Amino acid sequence: MATPSVAVPARPRGARLRWGRLPAWLRYLLLLAALVGIWQLYVVWRDPSPLLFSGPRDVAEAFWAGWKDGNLARVTWTTLKILGIGIGIGAVVALTLTAFAALSQIGEDLLRMLVAILNPLPGVAVLPLAILWFGLNTNALLFVIANAAAWPIAINLDTGFKTVNPTIVAVGRNIGLSSRRLVTDVLAPAALPYAISGLKTAWAFGWRTIIAAELVFGVAGAEGGLGTYINNAKLFLDIPRVFAGLVTIAILGLVFETLFGFLERRTIVRWGMKTST
């Protein structure tokens, strides 16, 4: 009498049409090609001023030229370097605070307080203050990135620590682990899914913050990163290069999406802490 519940659909979605049968990479490629086609059509049909908008051909040319002469590679590396160091600093701060919070009530209160005050601050809003304190140099950028990264990591890590299976913690205490070892050997691995989630969020915030901060910063010249590259291109009214910079940002976003997925599959998915990415 009981109707068998179907947990899995009888056939994959869209399988009636040929679309669903195509492999994932091909589907995405075709969609991308269609979008680029629409872009090109718009440029040909509406003929917008080259000072305002560029077509895919010009952007591709600028993109290729930028990579060939090494400029795009150099500025991308500069941005990633600052971003990496900034997130590193933020992660260290977050880890310290969360460990403290996991082990004492006052630490918990301190963490809650700091998160409530500092998390809502957008990185770019802190930038003028950072410039005042640290001067017109990379340190101001690092401070802003660290601030943008620390709080997402801290929040996620804190949740991670709190949702650790209390039985495991009890076992740890039972076998006489010191507080420090409790944190490093029990709490930390158990909180890994949350840590990675926090890292992903910190990365997204940090990425947006540094591009925006570089644009606000307005440093022109060789030492700048991707945001500066885009800003400079705009100053010289080289709109294809502006678009090429944006395309680079999009590609990097994709690359890191993939990298994070890879990391997750190798650790938490394999360990059964997350079903799939």
The contact set with other proteins (CB under 8 A) reads 49-52, 135-137, 218-224, 232, 235-238
- Residue closer to other proteins (CB basis): 37 or 128: 128
- Do residues 246 and 39 lie in contact, with contact meaning Cβ atoms separated by under 8 Å? no
The least CB distance from residue 51 to other proteins, in Å, is 5
How far apart are the C-alpha atoms of 217 and 219, rounded to whole Å? 6
The least CB distance from residue 60 to other proteins, in Å, is 18
The least CB distance from residue 52 to other proteins, in Å, is 7
- Residue closer to other proteins (CB basis): 139 or 184: 139
- Residue closer to other proteins (CB basis): 27 or 234: 234
The least CB distance from residue 219 to other proteins, in Å, is 6
Which of 227, 213, 238 shows the shortest CA–CA distance to 76?
Answer: 227
The answer for residues whose C-beta is within 8 angstroms of residue 193's C-beta and 6 or more apart is 160, 268, 273, 274
Largest CA distance in the chain: 75
For 129-149, give the secondary structure using H, E and C.
Answer: HHHHHHCCCHHHHHHHHHHHH
- Residue closer to other proteins (CB basis): 148 or 219: 219
